[in-house]
Amino acid sequence: MTTIHHQSLWGIDLGGTKIEGAILDPTDVSLANYRLRVPTESPKGYQHILEQLARLVGEIEQQSGMMRPKRIGVGTPGTTNPKTGLLKNSNTLCLNGKPLAEDLSKILGVEAVLANDANCCALAEATLGAAQGVKTVFGIILGTGVGGGIVVDGCVLTGAHGSCGEWGHNPLRGEDAPCYCGRSGCVEMVCAGPSLEKYYVSLTGKSLRLPEIVALAETGDEPATETLERLREKFAEALGAVVNILDPDAIVIGGGVGNLDLLYTPETRLAVQKHLFNDRFDTPLLRPTLGDSAGVFGAAMLVT
């Protein structure tokens, strides 16, 4: 049981399609007392998203009978530039360039503490989930995109530019697929779900979803097997670069692609080891244990 001496921990996970809010139980933060969702309705624009967030907090107050605390943690797509306070790199495009923390604090009447959603997931898994009590944790999101967060002693590292842990846009050797970030050969362009599906098309001309490709590989289908073997090798190269710099005590692999069994096999560990300066690779590769609660739990943990 993890006990935090604090009035109440309120967290909000701002996603592209839904906004989720939760109050964690102050005596056992692995339990959520209240959980509510409202749609983001991001096509209606920035002001509407702010109003949806305010509506959610109001509804949580009503249902819980509790007053909002002085600080509320909020996980966002993209990151807040620590120098300007403006949001950047968000796939919910209307948030980019906006002073989201300031505007949210104004509309909620309390301080909004923001962090990138991958950082929130890493924080939750490092404090309440798979890597509970581990000193240095690299938390990965490997899904439709590739992101990550670094947690040390229960604290998220933000970085001087707010981009700490963003390994998804490191380059891979011999890769040149153009990326939306303006460069090419990025990890995300090779290892994300849509990139794997694209690679399978390049081999076969057939457009399949990743679960279908995985199922085909199990029947011995050659292009499907090649697609997944390539994922293993490229994921290992990408992860090796991170391990050489951070040497974390544990790595948690979240996201839809992160769910694939092949990432947790001895073959994958050997593939990572080939890229290491160190001659051993003992770091545990862990499956997340909080599922889709990680985002909102991690947001709430931002204010501890």
Closer to Zn ion by Cβ: residue 2 or 163: 163
CA angle 286, 288, 290 (to 5 degrees): 155
Q: Assign 270 to helix, strand or coil.
A: helix
Return the range that interacts with Zn ion (CB under 5 A); candidates 71-79, 163-171, 220-228, 229-237: 163-171
Using the minimum distance from each CB to Zn ion, give the nearer residue, 149 or 168: 168
Q: Which is nearer to Zn ion, 79 or 127 (CB)?
A: 79
By CB under 5 A, tell whether 120 contacts Zn ion: no
Q: Which of 23, 120, 179, 210 binds Zn ion (CB under 5 A)?
A: 179
Output the six-digit token pair for 44.
Answer: 């209606």
**Can you tell me which of 12, 72, 156, 186 binds Zn ion, judged by CB under 5 A?**
186
Name the one residue in this structure whose structure tokens are 């050797």.
173
Count of chain residues binding Zn ion (CB under 5 A): 4
According to the binding rule CB under 5 A, does residue 181 interact with Zn ion?
Answer: yes
Q: Based on CB atoms, which residue is closest to Zn ion, 64 or 170?
A: 170
Query: 């490229």: which residue's tokens?
Result: 234
For Zn ion, which is the closer residue by CB, 13 or 166? Answer: 166
Specify the residue, 12 or 257, whose C-beta has the smaller distance to Zn ion.
Answer: 257
Angle between helix axes 193-204 and 222-246 (nearest 10 degrees) is 140
Q: How far is the CB of 110 from Zn ion (least distance, A)?
A: 36
C-beta closer to Zn ion: residue 8 or 81: 81
- Report d(CA 27, CA 270) in Å as an integer: 42
For residue 58, give every residue at least 6 positions away whose Cβ sits within 8 Å of its Cβ, in sequence order, or none.
none
Q: Using the rule CB under 5 A, give the single segment among 46-54, 165-173, 210-218, 294-302 that binds Zn ion.
A: 165-173
Instruction: Tell me how far CA of residue 291 lies from CA of 6, 23, 116, 117, 253, in angstroms.
Output: 25, 17, 17, 14, 11
Min dist CB 185 to Zn ion, Å, is: 8
Closest CA to 252 of 289, 226, 227, 293: 289
The region of 16-24, 185-193, 234-242, 262-270 touching Zn ion under the rule CB under 5 A is 185-193
Minimum distance, C-beta of residue 296 to Zn ion, in the bound complex (Å): 27
201 touches Zn ion (CB under 5 A)? no
Beta partners for 124?
none
Say whether residue 169 binds Zn ion (CB under 5 A).
yes
Residues 6+ apart with CB under 8 A from 254: 121, 125, 139, 140, 141, 142, 143, 288, 294
Q: Using CB under 5 A, which of the segments 10-18, 59-67, 182-190, 296-304 binds Zn ion?
A: 182-190
- Which of 296, 300, 26, 250 shows the shortest CA–CA distance to 132? 250
Give contact residues for Zn ion (rule: CB under 5 A): 169, 179, 181, 186
